[in-house]
């Protein structure tokens, strides 16, 4: 169980309370917006390759359908727990509202290390997940997507299981699918593109020159690796990358194409990378958070920057590509220190934004060119950044609190229009 300042759900609720107080929400308004609406926990029996049946604990939390159907990824990870899924579902509600897409918030998770499963076992687990949660899923009720440990193939199995049970062709039930199955062009790099767009805006308002700006990236999965590629292509200097295997540093700039190629052929891990190109390996994976860089991109899991290490963070901008990487205690410290934090619910919203565009295309049955998707994404992200930045100026708060102010007031306004049924 999480200790100290690292219970993600308590942290999320602290963020909510702070913003609700500034907005002056009443107790009734808080009741309508704050807590999750539906929490489901099931045991999935899964047939393993040796013929045995193994039980996996699985969750789906629908936090809010106030502004649209439940929306959010499904995480396969050994450390998944209910408080984490509740926090992630809450953040999805606010994230959708911050970028103003007509979606609510939800999240799912399974306690499993997917790297320990064969492809067949992973397929059995994925299909069983959809079969168990299907009654609540659908294009107009709850729409899952990829998250840590899941990918387009898992989404394809979700789609097929739903289609077989319901006897319908309904690609909008899940986003992040392979393109051949109605997935959107641009979806795999969408979260990282959103990170790039918001980092560019942050540099603009902070008067930091983009050319040669130094960057450290924690995590080299989907979001971290695409962020490294896009920021490198944009002329920034990636001086450190890292994952659970360690931190890899080169003050002259890491050969990013070589790192991408290496990870692709090494089961997405950077382990052993120092033997391939000129980088120094630092044993402690956490050291990447303390690098003296212009931009730090935490692109791994929650609770990385905490009250234990916030005083050692030296980056000018923190771009939260992961969900919940900074605890509220650390946040207070960073704000007092003048660090410019682009909060997760804004910074990484590019993923759910293109998921929304995928859902729109699925419902039309008409598919756009990549160019159109990327320009819609850029418009949405830049507009959201500006709205949050304006709100931060108006209320004299951090970007995080401002993002909560924008998101919560949007949900609250819809709640007011809708009223309480019966
Ligand atoms: N898992 C991603 C997130 O945390 C994407 C969710 C989605 O596309 O629905 O934002």
Q: Say whether 86 is catalytic.
A: no
In this structure, which topology does domain 185-389+397-422 adopt according to CATH? Rossmann fold (3.40.50)
Average pLDDT, the chain: 96
Average pLDDT of the segment spanning 197-224:
96
Please say if the pLDDT value at position 2 is more than 50.
no
What integer pLDDT is reported at residue 306 of this predicted model? Answer: 95
Which residue stretches of 112-216 are H helix?
A: 119-133, 152-166, 190-206
Answer whether 270's CB lies under 8 Å from 288's CB. Answer: no
Of these residues, 95, 107, 177, 237, which one is catalytic? Answer: 107
Rounded average pLDDT over 229-242: 97
Specify the pLDDT at position 422. 81
Within this chain, domains 39-171 and 185-389+397-422 share the same CATH topology: yes
Distance from the alpha carbon of residue 148 to the mean position of ligand 1, in angstroms = 9
Fold of the 39-171 domain: Rossmann fold (3.40.50)
Other C-beta atoms closer than 10 Å to the C-beta of 269 total: 15
Residue 95 contacts residue 407 (beta carbons within 8 Å): yes
pLDDT band at residue 284 using 50, 70 and 90 as cut-offs: confident
Confidence of residue 275 (pLDDT cuts 50, 70, 90): confident
Atom of ligand 1 nearest to the CA of 348: 10
Which residues surround ligand 1 with Cβ inside 6 Å? 71-73, 145, 147, 175-176, 323, 348, 351-352, 355
- 3-state helix/strand/coil string of 351-364: HHHHHHHHHHHHHH
Confidence of residue 4 (pLDDT cuts 50, 70, 90): low
- Do 105 and 90 meet the contact criterion of CB atoms below 8 Å apart? yes
What's the pLDDT tens digit per position in 343-398? 999 999 999 999 999 999 999 999 999 999 999 999 999 999 999 999 999 999 99
Q: What distance in angstroms lies between residue 412's CA and the mean position of ligand 1's atoms? A: 22
Q: How far is the CA of 10 from the centre of ligand 1 (A)?
A: 21
If one compares 86 and 276, the residue with the highest pLDDT of the two is 86
pLDDT of residue 6: 78
Sequence ranges of the domains in the chain: 39-171, 185-389+397-422
Segment 405-416 shows an average pLDDT of: 98
pTM: 0.97
Rounded distance from Cα 347 to ligand 1 centre (Å): 12
What pLDDT score does 285 carry?
83
Give pLDDT tens digits for 297-327.
999 999 999 999 999 999 999 999 999 999 9
Q: Is 280 helix (H, G, I), strand (E, B) or coil?
A: strand
Provide the angle, in degrees to the nearest 10, between the axes of the packed helices 222-233 and 256-264: 160
Express each pLDDT in 18-30 by its tens digit: 999 999 999 999 9
156-195 residue pLDDT tens = 999 999 999 999 999 999 999 999 999 999 999 999 999 9
Query: What percent of the chain shows pLDDT beyond 70?
Result: 99
Asked if residue 1 has pLDDT above 60, the reply is no
* Alpha carbons 196 and 311: distance in angstroms, whole number: 26
Give the per-residue pLDDT at 369: 98
Strands in 53-64's sheet, in edge-to-edge order, are 38-47, 53-64, 105-111, 70-77, 142-146
pLDDT in tens, 10-65: 999 999 999 999 999 999 999 999 999 999 999 999 999 999 999 999 999 999 99
The torsion of the CA quartet 55, 269, 226, 172, rounded to 10 degrees, works out to -20
Mutate to test the pocket of ligand 1, among 101, 152, 187, 191 (most ligand atoms within 8 A of CB): 191
What's the confidence (pLDDT) of residue 99?
A: 98
Q: Which residues pair with 35 in a beta bridge?
A: none
Structure confidence at residue 278 (pLDDT): 87
Taking a C-beta distance cutoff of 8 angstroms, is the pair 225, 260 a contact?
yes
Interatomic CA distance for residues 219 and 217, integer angstroms? 6
| pLDDT greater than 60 at residue 197 | yes
SS3 342: strand
Tokens of 308: 């234990």
The residue to mutate among 139, 145, 173, 377, having the most atoms of ligand 1 within 8 angstroms of its beta carbon, is 145
């Amino acid at each position: 169980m999480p200790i100290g300042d690292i219970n993600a759900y308590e942290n999320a609720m602290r963020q909510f309370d702070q913003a609700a107080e500034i907005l002056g929400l009443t107790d009734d308004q808080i009741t309508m917006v704050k807590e999750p609406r539906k929490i489901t926990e099931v045991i999935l029996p899964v047939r393993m390759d040796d013929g045995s049946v193994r039980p996996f604990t699985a969750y789906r939390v629908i936090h809010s359908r106030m502004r649209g159907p439940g929306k959010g990824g499904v995480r396969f990870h050994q450390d998944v727990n209910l408080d984490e899924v509740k926090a992630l579902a809450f953040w999805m509600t606010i994230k959708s509202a911050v970028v103003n897409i007509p979606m609510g918030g939800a999240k799912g998770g399974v306690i499993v290390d997917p790297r320990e499963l064969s492809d067949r076992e992973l397929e059995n687990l994925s299909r069983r997940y959809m079969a168990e949660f299907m009654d609540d899923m659908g294009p107009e009720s709850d729409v899952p997507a990829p998250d840590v440990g899941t990918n387009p193939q898992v989404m394809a199995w979700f789609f097929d299981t739903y289609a077989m049970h319901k006897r319908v062709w309904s690609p909008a039930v899940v986003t992040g699918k392979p393109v051949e199955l109605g997935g959107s062009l641009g979806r795999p790099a969408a979260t990282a593109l959103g990170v790039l767009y918001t980092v560019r805006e942050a540099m603009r308002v902070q008067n930091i020159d983009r050319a040669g700006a130094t960057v450290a990236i924690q995590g080299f999965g989907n979001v971290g690796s695409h962020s490294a590629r896009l920021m490198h292509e944009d002329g920034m200097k990636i001086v450190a990358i890292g994952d659970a295997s360690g931190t890899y540093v080169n003050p002259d700039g890491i050969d990013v194409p070589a790192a991408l190629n290496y990870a692709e052929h090494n089961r997405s891990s950077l382990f052993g990378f120092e033997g391939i190109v000129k980088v120094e390996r630092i044993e402690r994976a956490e050291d990447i958070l303390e690098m003296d860089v212009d931009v730090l991109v935490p692109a791994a899991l929650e609770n990385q920057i905490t009250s234990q290490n916030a005083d050692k963070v030296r980056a000018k901008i923190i771009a939260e590509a992961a969900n919940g990487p900074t605890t509220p205690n650390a946040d207070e410290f960073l704000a007092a220190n003048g660090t410019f934090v682009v909060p997760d619910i804004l910074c990484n919203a590019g993923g759910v934004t293109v998921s929304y565009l995928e859902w729109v295309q699925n419902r039309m049955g008409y598919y756009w060119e990549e160019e159109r998707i990327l320009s819609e994404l850029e418009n949405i992200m830049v507009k959201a950044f500006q709205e949050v930045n304006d709100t931060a100026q108006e209320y004299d708060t951090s970007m995080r609190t401002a993002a909560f102010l924008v998101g919560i007031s949007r949900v609250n306004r819809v709640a007011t229009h809708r009223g309480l049924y019966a």
